[in-house]
Amino acid sequence: MNQIKSKGVVPWQSPSNIAIVKYWGKHGSQLPKNPSFSLTLSAAYTRTTARFIIHQTEQKNNVSVSLDGAEQPAFIPKITQFLDRVSDDYPFLNRIELHLETHNSFPHSSGIASSASAMSALALIIADIGGRSGDLQEISRISRLGSGSASRSIFPYGSIWGVSNEVPGSSDYFGIGMEDRMHPVFKTFCDAILIVKSGEKAVSSTAGHGLMASHPFAETRYANARNRLSHLTKALETGDVATFGEICEKEALELHALMMCSDPPYILMEPKTLEMIQCVLKFRKASGIPMYFTLDAGPNLHLLYPVENRNKVSDFIQKELIQYCENGKWIDDAVGTGPNKIMQS
């Protein structure tokens, strides 16, 4: 029996991640239609402090959540849905009074995977209260039930979620850490996140996954992703940055192309996103710097590159890309080592 705490304060910080091979399309209980790989980030994170009491009697939605001090009733349905999904394995959740105080280091719902960091932070809290805080596989599994991509935020450096024949131990139910199968060049990779627009997305990821169920190119898409993942795992091991970059950009464009030919179709890129992509391609050709773009389900551009190019890429951003960023905002991020329990002062 795991030791369950009855009352207390549990604070966790969990990072976002950036998918290189994208998860897009799901079935059953948050199971992916194809395997995906992401790099774990460090500067883009969610910090959540939970204050909780486990009562003797059943509690009906005795949950509150605030973001930077402001109550957020709009977040509650997602949180209670998540608690419901994991309550079979963590029955104390039926008796919990839970107050969450949360902070994102980046704009909420901007296409940066806030659901990945927020849901993995919550999963870390639940596992901690339930006495399973060291069990990364279990934490990844319950993170998945909050948000698929959250299953990958638990691990240092990088993670694969979804069965891939080439990767022993991979599973549709939880992510696995790729630390031992990643060349050092990728463990210090940088990710400049250029914020084109920080508002709510017009179409949520949940709706986007849903549209894949009847998408005319769904099967081709899943085959492409599987195939790319197998090439990517080799590139990750050998430090083949060029192959990594090629896959990264194809995946970004394919993800957005899928949105544009869903029924109904929709567009999450902004004109500024495309302008930045053109600038990036031109700069790469002229400079020879191995710098590659990707996108999540939103308009913000991620630029991925090896750390030794940091100064040159920062100069390029300042000179050419900052004009496209909302209020000049970008996040100078890099691959990171995963979640942390925050020490309380």
Does position 248 bind ligand PMV by CB under 6 A?
no
Asked if 113 interacts with ligand PMV (CB under 6 A), we say yes
Q: Does 205 bind ligand PMV (CB under 6 A)?
A: yes
Q: Which of 297, 317, 331, 334 binds ligand PMV (CB under 6 A)?
A: 297
Q: Which part of the chain contacts ligand PMV (CB under 6 A), choosing from 3-11, 21-29, 42-50, 219-227?
A: 21-29
Closest by CA to 176, choosing from 156, 199, 146, is 156
In the complex, least distance from residue 208 CB atom to ligand PMV, rounded to whole angstroms: 7
In the complex, what is the shortest distance from the CB of residue 37 to ligand PMV, in angstroms, rounded to a whole number? 9
302: helix, strand or coil: strand
Is 296 near ligand PMV (CB under 6 A)?
A: yes
Q: Which of residues 173-202 bind ligand PMV (CB under 6 A)?
A: none
| Gap between the Cα atoms of 37 and 19, Å rounded | 6
Scanning the chain, the segments in alpha helix (DSSP H) are 76-86, 114-129, 136-146, 184-187, 205-212, 218-238, 241-260, 271-287, 310-316
User: In terms of CB distance, is 48 or 49 closer to ligand PMV?
Assistant: 48
DSSP symbol at 238: H
Task: With beta carbons less than 8 A apart as the criterion, state whether 157 and 186 touch.
Answer: yes
Which run of H or E residues covers position 19?
Answer: strand 7-21
We find the least distance from the C-beta atom of residue 279 to ligand PMV, in angstroms, to be 23
In angstroms, the CA 12 to CA 127 distance is 11
Closest separation in Å from C-beta 204 to ligand PMV: 8
Q: Which range in 41-49, 147-155, 239-247, 328-336 contacts ligand PMV by CB under 6 A? A: 147-155
Contact pick of 14, 149, 198, 294 for ligand PMV (by CB under 6 A): 149
Angle at 338 between CA 334 and CA 341, to 5 degrees: 130
Q: Which residues of 50-80 are buried (b: 16+ CB within 10 A; e: fewer)?
A: bebebeeeeeeeebbbebeeeeeeebeebbb
The answer to the question of residue 112 lying near ligand PMV (CB under 6 A) is no
19 touches ligand PMV (CB under 6 A): yes
Phi, psi of 191 (to 5 degrees): -135, 105
Tell me if 22 contacts ligand PMV by CB under 6 A: yes
233 binds ligand PMV (CB under 6 A): no
Q: Which is nearer to ligand PMV, 49 or 170 (CB)?
A: 170
> Should residue 16 be labelled a site residue for ligand PMV when binding is judged by CB under 6 A?
no
Binding site for ligand PMV (CB under 6 A): 19, 22-24, 36, 113, 115, 147-149, 205, 209, 255, 296-297
